[in-house]
Each structure stands twice: as structure tokens, then as C-alpha cells.
Amino acid sequence: MRRKLTQRGKDRRRQLMDHAAALFAERGYHPTSVADIVETLGVGKGVFYWYFPSKEELLSEILRESQQDLRRRQQQAIGDEPNPVVRIELGIRATIEWFLEHRKNFTLFQFAATDERFAPVLRRNHDVAIADAARHIKEAIVEGLIADQDPEVLAEAIVGACNQLTLTYVFDRNEPVDRTAEAAVSFCLHGIVGK
Amino acid sequence: MRRKLTQRGKDRRRQLMDHAAALFAERGYHPTSVADIVETLGVGKGVFYWYFPSKEELLSEILRESQQDLRRRQQQAIGDEPNPVVRIELGIRATIEWFLEHRKNFTLFQFAATDERFAPVLRRNHDVAIADAARHIKEAIVEGLIADQDPEVLAEAIVGACNQLTLTYVFDRNEPVDRTAEAAVSFCLHGIVGK
DNA sequence: AACGTTCTTGACCGAATGGTCAAGTCACCG
DNA sequence: CGGTGACTTGACCATTCGGTCAAGAACGTT
């Protein structure tokens, strides 16, 4: 296990994380062996264990880092927009765009949710994201912009709908992000009945 | 590999499938070994390979069978309801109820979607389910019950929102199905803006 | 150039894993 | 009762896995 990292070390670490994340997303976590990771990178096995204590910890770190990055992107997109409904809309768009640029993380998150060793890592962040969205919704209710419903339930539903649309249209069918985001926002705001 | 099955054989097969499904859902597919399955059942390893050609094929069969069962339940719930919007509502309720009774399948489906060997099995059925829902939506549009939007997009969004709500409220928090179904239907019909 | 630290190598290890199979056991039928 | 085919056993096998480590290369500092 490493102690201090030089620039060279930091680069290797990055390289390993990116490469492993790609392999995990492509072939799955379990079917991808540590040997696979280092071989396709052309380095010895010791390199892996110099930077990471275990294969498990590597995925956990990948997950933590990705989630942090997504959250940063969402907050940045929302900025200081005063209208809470617009904030939700901006958040949805930012999320879909982020997943387009980091599509490998989508599969990774989905898998991690099914493994009891990684689910807790996701869980914490998911709860924060939901609480965040729920806050905006609550504010919108107070301002009389939307009907009075459980904000947390709405937040979960929004996340679910957006994820499914992203998966199907952005990943499987390569539809443009804008159209998908538009559909997601429209559905989340007005449901199938429409305005 | 088996040829013909007596009643005794059919029972064993059922037992193996149910038991394996439970273990897969609990510990994950890869971390559950064939040895685990047969040991906790108190039988020899040969029994497994008498009924299934491989561990992979077993999961595929579990998936196929579950999906078939879910679909049957949905169609039965919808019956001959004339109003397409009500049909959608009935479908949502039936789905959430089915997952409550077969919660292990939820995790199984989620995992299968992340593994390229099992994704195709899910995919085919998902497409059918979406096409089904889209048909009802289209009919509702024609009858002027809902606004004119892409039926398939709406169908995907509905599935996503319902899955997320089921996962969070029915599984994680043991909320009653009715309340969750109510929330899901309300969200899908009217979004966050509300009626 | 010499030295300590960071980084890299790849053979090696014990512990699984999925899958096989020769040898039996069991249930049913004539 | 004897025989036939459906089932069961569990030792066994080749392979792979995550992880270790002694040895050495590369690098930064003085």
C-alpha cells in the first residue's frame, strides 16, 4: 500500500481507476479480474496493489469519486436560480448530460446497487441527492408553484423516470440529450396528462 | 442433463430454482457458488447439473419465468377495462403488488441488466412491456384523454418512476403498497405540478 | 555519484470456482 | 422379483481468482 504519491504516482492511479471503471462497466465487476486490469494496461500486478488495497476498495473509490463529481455538476448547473421549479429542471438536464459524458458510471451504479458490499456507498449519496431535490420541491410548494404532495416521494419518482429515460434513449438509442431532457422534464412536471 | 422429468424431478427443479433465486438475490449472482446452492439444500452437486446445464442457464431460466409471471399478472389485472388511462393505472398497481410478493426478483432483474450475458433476456421482455403500455397510451391520446406526446417515451418514464418508488418505499421502508401505488399513479398521471 | 524513497516486476500461494463422472440408489412397471 | 430409466452422490479436475512479496528499476535530492 502506498504512502505518498508523486505526480507520476497520481497519474498511474488515475489511469488505473479510469481503465478499471471502463472494464467493470463493459464486462461487469466480478468477471473482470485484477489480472485483466493490469494486463490490458501492460503493467505488473504489483502496481495495482501499490495503489489500491483491494479490488473491492477500488470500486468503492470509483463510486465515491463519480458521485461527488455528479453532485458538483448538479450544484453548479443550478447555480443561484431563484425559481425552485426551474432549479429542478436544471438539475435534471445537468444529470442527463453528466451521464452522457460518463456513461460507464451508469452501469457501475446499477450494479453497485445490487451488491450488498457496495450498496451502502451509493445509498448515502442517493439520500443526499433526494434530500436536495426534496428541498427544492418543498420550496416550490410553499411558493404555491406546485400542488401540495410529499416532496420526497416526488424526488424519488423524478430520479427514477430520468434514469430510465437516460438509459433507453441516451445510451441504447443515441438520441440527442436535449430531446431526452425535454421529455424527462415535461413528464416530471406534468405527467402523462400534460399541461 | 435431464431427459424426462417425473413429478419428483419437477419438484426438485422448482426447489432448486426458488432456492437459487433467493440466494442470488441475497448475496448476488457471482458470489453465490453452485456449491453454496446445493449445500444449503443438503444435496449433492450432481443434482444441480442433472437439472440445469450451467449456473448461467439457471439464472436465465429464473429470469424468463419471472418475467412471464409478471406479465401474466399485469394482463390479468387489466382485464377488459375499457378506459385506457384506467388500464395504465391498473397495470401500475399490479406491477407494484407483484414485486412486493416477489421482491427477490427486483434485485435479480437489476443485476441482470448490468451483465451482458443476461441483459438480452431482460431486454426482449422489457420491449414487449413498453410496447404494451405504449399501446394503451396511444389509445388514450386518440380518445383525447391525455395530451399528444410520444407514447413510448411516456411508457419508459412510467416504468422508471414506478420502479424507483417500489424500491424505496415498498422494499427499503416497508410502506404499504396502496400508498406507494397511489403516489406512483398520481405522479405518472400529473407529474409534480398536480391536477 | 550516492542514497533513500517511490514505484514496478512477475513468480508464487492458498483458496475457491464451475463443471465432470463413475458408481450407486430409488421408484415404478411388467 | 428383476430390470429399466430417473435421480443422487461426492470425490475429483483444470482453471482462475485475489492477494503477497522479495527483488530490483526509476526518480528526486543532496
Work out the pLDDT band at A3, boundaries 50, 70, 90: low
pLDDT of residue B1: 53
Using one digit for the tens of pLDDT, what is the confidence trace for A93-137?
999 999 999 999 999 999 999 999 999 999 999 999 999 999 999
Span A6-12, average pLDDT: 91
pLDDT at position B60 is 97
What is the chain A residue with the closest CA to B136?
A: A192
Angle at A151 between CA A146 and CA A157, to 5 degrees: 95
**Distance, Å, B2 CA → D1 C1':** 28
pLDDT digits over B27-78, tens only?
999 999 999 999 999 999 999 999 999 999 999 999 999 999 999 999 999 9
Q: What's the Å distance between residue B2 CA and nucleotide C28 C1'?
A: 18
In angstroms, what separates the C-alpha of B129 from chain A's closest C-alpha?
Answer: 14
Residue B193 has pLDDT above 80, yes or no: no
Q: Which residues contact A88 (CB under 8 A, 6 or more apart)?
A: A133, A136, A137, A140, A158, A188, B192
Q: Which nucleotides of D are covered by protein (CB under 7 A)?
A: 5-12, 16-23, 27-28
Distance from CA of A4 to the nearest CA of B (A): 34
* CB atoms inside a 10 Å sphere around CB A15: 14
Return the pLDDT at B4.
79
Put simply, the answer to whether A157 touches B154 (Cβ < 8 Å) is no
Nucleotide nearest to B13 (CA to C1'): D7
Q: Which residues of A touch B119 (CB under 8 A)?
A: none
Report which of A55, A51, A3 is spatially closest to residue A33, judged by C-alpha positions.
A55
pLDDT value at residue A141: 92
* pLDDT at residue B155, rounded to an integer: 96
| Residue A1 confidence (pLDDT) above 60 | no
Q: Is the pLDDT of residue B165 over 60?
A: yes
SS3 B37: helix
Question: Is the overall model pTM greater than 0.85, yes or no?
Answer: yes
Contacts of A137 (CB under 8 A, 6+ apart): A84, A88, A146, A151, A154, A155, B192
Higher pLDDT among residues B191 and B84, named by residue: B84
Residue among B156, B189, B193 minimizing CB distance to A146? B193
Q: Do B114 and A110 touch (CB under 8 A)?
A: yes
Question: Are A150 and B187 a contacting pair at CB < 8 A?
Answer: no
> How far is the alpha carbon of A5 from chain B, nearest alpha carbon, in Å?
34
Please give the nucleotide, over all strands, whose C1' is closest to the CA of residue A7. Answer: C6
CA of B112 to C1' of D9 (A): 32
Which of A115, A158, A189 has the CB atom closest to B193's CB atom?
A189
Render pLDDT for A43-90 as a digit per residue (tens, 0 to 9). 999 999 999 999 999 999 999 999 999 999 999 999 999 999 999 999
Q: Are A116 and B27 in contact (CB under 8 A)?
A: yes
